[in-house]
Amino acid sequence: MDLHLDAPHSMGTTIIGVTYNGGVVLGADSRTSTGVYVANRASDKITELTDNVYLCRSGSAADSQIVSDYVRYFLHQHIIQLGQPATVKVAANLVRLLSYNNKNMLQAGLIVGGWDKYEGGKIYSVPLGGTILEQPFTLGGSGSSYLYGFFDQAWREGMSKDEAEELVVKAVSLAIARDGASGGVVRTVTINSEGVSRKFHSGDSLPLWHEELEPQNSLLDTLMPEDSQ
């Protein structure tokens, strides 16, 4: 059986950015695949660009990583020249510029999120091709197809930080349940005027959907009825 192990590493994935009353929450799963083989089940798809701006990466792992590396370098130079933190809009436009100018070579869908003192919390989506869209919430990756109806019903303006974090974790877990290219753990990054908070949600702590089985210590626990153990 050909597992396509020579295929490029792909983060066919689920990435999410949500604004709330005071900042933004970014979230992502952790599965990286090579063909049908899971190359990494715990990859970190939320990359720091500056102290106040982060990037969610989907598509080709190599492409999205090199874009984030270049943007981080240019932002570092920008901060040194200005003597103050870069805004979220500046970071998003650098991501857009690199994605658009190299659109024939890159396979990367990106979400830029952060907080600055001028505009507060902002989310920008930069899909394949280099378009830039400012949105109150945005979804990316293969798992996003299953989430648009859910977000139309669940997202609302003026959410609290806890409500936004709960929404992101619930949405990523739903995508993991439906999308074979999404899986692993859920990572979230919350950015506001107080700084940055990272959280890790292990697979066995995520809400279950549809006919998913409860996590077990071993396969025997799943196969054996409780009264025979």
Catalytic residues: 13
Closest to 107 in 3D by CA, of 219, 8, 210: 8
Phi and psi angles of residue 198, each rounded to the nearest 5 degrees, phi first = -100, 140
- Where would I find the beta strands (DSSP E) of the chain? 10-11, 15-20, 23-28, 32-34, 37-40, 46-50, 53-60, 108-116, 120-126, 133-134, 137-140, 186-192, 195-201
C-alpha distances in angstroms, 179 versus 47, 50, 84, 110, 162? 23, 31, 41, 19, 26
Query: What would the two tokens of residue 227 be?
Result: 């009264």
Partners of 111 in the β-ladder: 56, 125
C-alpha distances in angstroms, 114 versus 22, 35, 88, 120? 11, 33, 6, 8
In this structure, the number of other CB atoms found within 10 A of the CB of residue 69 comes to 12
In this structure, the number of other CB atoms found within 10 A of the CB of residue 166 comes to 16
